[in-house]
A and B are shown apart, each in its own frame.
Chain A
Amino acid sequence: MNEVYGPIIRDGLWKNNPALVQLLGLCPLLAVTNTTINGLGLGLATILTLVASNGLVSLLRKQIPDEARLPVFVMIIASIVTIIELSMNAWFHELYLILGIFIPLIVTNCAITGRAEAFAARNPIGPSIVDGLMMGLGFTAVLVVLGATRELIGQGTILAEAHLMFGEAARNLTIVVFEDYRGFLMALLPPGAFIGLGLIVALKNVIDARQTTTQVKTIDAIAEQVAG
């Protein structure tokens, strides 16, 4: 079990993170991450779509003709997104009013086609669903971190308007970090999104580089001991 799912989990959350390594889905990612809550909203809607599309593509992978697989993926994803949007509008109207604006944005997220092509079309349904979930979580984590960073620098708060997503009780979740903060508009506007994402990618690369160096050092030390 762990031999199959371990690498999938590591890939989705860190090693092959859709936003930080594959750099997919940047259009919605950059557009909505001006607050933590917006990031989380898009993240949740993306997870739902990724799991559903990966599951369905994997289930139909033997029927999908190889030559025409991309148009089929696009059709499956567009149908899923439309069905999710309509169903949410009908049966979860309150949630729809909050997440509704994010759902059409998901169609522009090439990470979903990417996972259908790179993973779900070649793997059984179990691993495909886990891959969708993990890629979705990895994407959401980046959305939330970027959203929180931009919100903090841009308007001096974290989790502003949490009640829009979690109800009135969550109104107190908002953390005002800087009282009387004058705001830093650039962080909230698109340039802030590009710079912020760049910094997060850089940070990930630094952490990865550190780890590699430590591993090399450990191996060197062992080699010396063995030689000595």
Chain B
Amino acid sequence: MNIFTSKILPVGLMLAAFAVVATSLVTLTEENTRDKIIENERQTLLAAINALVNVNDYNNDILTDTIILASTEQLGTKEENTVYRARMDKTPIAVVFTAIAPNGYNGQIKLLVGINFDGNLAGVRVINHKETPGLGDKINVKKADWILKFKGLSLKNPDGSKWKVKKDGGDFDQFTGATITPRAVVTAVKKALQYYEKNRDALYKEAE
């Protein structure tokens, strides 16, 4: 069959035309929404940080006063991790960074951890998880207030050996039917605090 007399060519061209139009429309939408989406994500990030660090306690631009940590085993992070630093007139107030609990019931649990300069927790929030709905997902602040109890705790309060769920002899509540999830979160937060203790000065180092 000759390619010029068969229907293959017109049909192929028509298909290509549809592909061009469809791709153009998607590209056009992407270009028109890009700035707005970046701004939305910035606002969402800022809201997440301000849930941990009181907005009146600092006066620097926290989204640009950052350092990037490379993959850090202690924090469970395999990708670059941005550390946001809150300062009041150059006095360090708090840092906010990501920590990952690798051993959730259903894979990784991504946490946003805020630590005040003195080593007390400003707070912890779960950013991303795949835990069982109705059981393990109580770590999400929208579903239960369990995660709020971390605020104000430190490696001395409770004592380091008590940073476990109650079932393991520690101080933290587990959920009915779900121990693995809270155990993973408690361990990850403890490790983040230990990391902070060892690296505090480096975390607040002024950007060059």
Contacts and interface: CB of A to CB of B under 8 A. Distances in A.
Interface of A: 34-35, 38, 63-65, 67-68, 71-72, 75-76, 78-79, 82-83, 86-87, 89-91, 93, 97, 151, 154-155, 160-161, 163-164, 182-183, 185, 188-189
B22 interface: yes
21 contacts: A34-B133, A63-B14, A64-B18, A65-B10, A65-B14, A68-B15, A71-B15, A78-B22, A79-B23, A86-B26, A86-B37, A87-B33, A89-B40, A91-B33, A93-B43, A97-B44, A155-B134, A161-B143, A182-B176, A183-B134, A183-B177
B26 A183 contact: no
Contacts of B135: 183, 185, 188
Interface of B: 7, 10-12, 14-15, 18-19, 22-23, 25-26, 29-30, 32-33, 36-37, 40, 43-44, 132-135, 142-143, 176-177
Given A65-B11, A67-B7, A154 B26 contact: no
Contacts of A76: 18, 22
B177 A86 contact: no
A159 to B, nearest CB: 13
Nearest to A67: B11
B44 to A, nearest CB: 7
B121 to A, nearest CB: 25
Contact of B134 (A72, A91, A97, A154): A154
A74 to B, nearest CB: 10
A67 to B, nearest CB: 5
Given A71-B15, A72-B15, A185-B177, A90 B132 contact: no
A75 B143 CA distance: 38
B192 to A, nearest CB: 25
Nearest to A83: B29
A188 B29 CA distance: 37
Nearest to A96: B40
A34 to B, nearest CB: 5
Contacts of A161: 142-143
Given A34-B133, A155-B134, A185-B132, A86 B44 contact: no
Contacts of B142: 161, 163-164
